[in-house]
Amino acid sequence: MVKKHTKPIVIKLKELKKRYGIGNAEHYALDGVDLIIEKGEFIAVMGPSGCGKTTLLNILGLLDRPTDGDYLLDGKAVEELSSAHHARIRSEQIGFVFQNFNLVPRISVIENVALPLTYKGMRKMKRLKEASRVLKNFHLQEREYYMPAQLSGGQNQRVAIARALVNNPSIILADEPTGNLDSRASHIVMEELSDLHRRGNTIIMVTHNPKLTTYASRVIHMLDGKIASDTKIPVKDESKTEKIPLGHGRKGKE
Ligand code: ADP
Ligand code: MG
């Protein structure tokens, strides 16, 4: 059966495989994943430890390459693009959020958020101005010159999300973003991700917490490197869903 897609397809995986080890130690972390992701979906990926969630996210984010199968990003076969092109996609189109925040401890919050702009060759003043604008959206402007160690876990994760967003990516990949947070901080972080979803961004988030799937528009369960179930959650009220492109929409709100 041919399924109709009303929105542009951003990600298409066909029979995707990732093998680790050789001979007796051979093991498929991903063992034939077929997946179509439309623009603006908020996908929660669940499944037991070791089932391949991180491997999948790393391949989607071009941090790792599949052993077999196809990955089309915006209709282009990722495999055929040069590593320089991959790097450009990573820095311009994809924002990463990790469980342990991955902030650089020796530099201030604002410098952390400005870091991805360095690779674009943007001047320092401009970088800090951009970082400050994003932090303001996260109500962290008073913390700009704090060091990461001076903030709570929840605040650090919001800084990490701000950093993931500074380049205005269209896809956010989050690997257990609330894994190290208490329930209150988790919900604040989820509200931020939810807000990005409402603005039309595509979000793929790995989580262990079934409660957090309420924020998603689709829940995927993985098992042994395969997709075991894939459920779309009906939109509550489509008319209230505003879709503003990230950076400029945000600017306009100030
Ligand atoms: P999850 O994130 O769902 O816990 P992972 O994607 O991290 O699972 O891992 C899936 C499987 O692949 C596991 O069996 C893991 O041990 C294996 N694996 C992951 N990364 C590597 C690696 N770099 N080398 C060898 N095996 C790996
Ligand atoms: Mg993992």
Residue of the CA atom closest to atom 21 of ligand 1: 20
Q: Which residue has the tokens 């509200």?
A: 191
Residue of the CA atom closest to atom 18 of ligand 1: 29
CA of residue 148 to ligand 1 center, whole Å: 29
* Per-residue pLDDT tens over the stretch 166-207: 988 999 999 999 999 999 889 889 998 999 999 999 999 999
Say how far apart CA 189 and CA 246 lie, in whole Å: 17
For residue 100, which phi and psi values (nearest 5 degrees)? Answer: -100, 25
Ligand 1: which of 22, 46, 53, 55 to mutate, most ligand atoms within 8 Å of CB?
A: 55
Query: What's the distance, CA 231 to chain centroid?
Result: 19
Q: CB of 162 within 8 A of CB of 108?
A: no
To the nearest whole number, what is the mean pLDDT of the chain?
Answer: 90
Cβ(119) to ligand 1 under 6 A?
A: no
The proportion of the chain whose per-residue pLDDT surpasses 70, expressed as a percent, equals 91
Say how far apart CA 100 and CA 185 lie, in whole Å: 14
Among the residue ranges 74-78, 151-155, 231-235, 242-246, the one predicted with the least confidence is 242-246
Ligand 1: which of 20, 53, 60, 100 to mutate, most ligand atoms within 8 Å of CB?
A: 20
Q: CB of 221 within 8 A of CB of 200?
A: no
CA of residue 207 to ligand 2 center, whole Å: 9
CA of residue 28 to ligand 1 center, whole Å: 9
| pLDDT at 251 exceeding the cut of 50 | no
| pLDDT at 136 exceeding the cut of 50 | yes
Residue 110 class from Cβ within 10 Å (0-12 exposed, 13-18 middle, 19+ buried)?
Answer: buried
Cβ(51) to ligand 1 under 6 A?
A: yes
Q: How many CB atoms lie within 10 A of CB 139?
A: 11
Amino acid of residue 10: V
Which is the closest atom of ligand 1 to the Cα of 48? 3
Domain boundaries, the chain: 103-168
How far CA 124 is from CA of 131, 166, 168, 224, in Å, comes to 10, 14, 18, 46
Among the residue ranges 12-21, 104-113, 226-235, the one predicted with the least confidence is 226-235
Cβ(50) to ligand 1 under 6 A?
A: yes
| pLDDT at 245 exceeding the cut of 70 | no
* Pairwise pLDDT comparison (232 vs 244), residue with the higher score: 232
Total residues belonging to the chain? 254
| pLDDT at 236 exceeding the cut of 80 | no
Q: Which residue has the tokens 């993931």?
A: 164
Say how far apart CA 116 and CA 130 lie, in whole Å: 11
CA of residue 155 to ligand 2 center, whole Å: 22
Cβ(207) to ligand 1 under 6 A?
A: no
- Residues around ligand 2, an ion, CB closer than 5 A: 53-54
Say how far apart CA 191 and CA 175 lie, in whole Å: 16
CA of residue 206 to ligand 2 center, whole Å: 8
Residue of the CA atom closest to atom 26 of ligand 1: 20
User: And the tokens for 223?
Assistant: 């098992």
Residue of the CA atom closest to atom 5 of ligand 1: 52
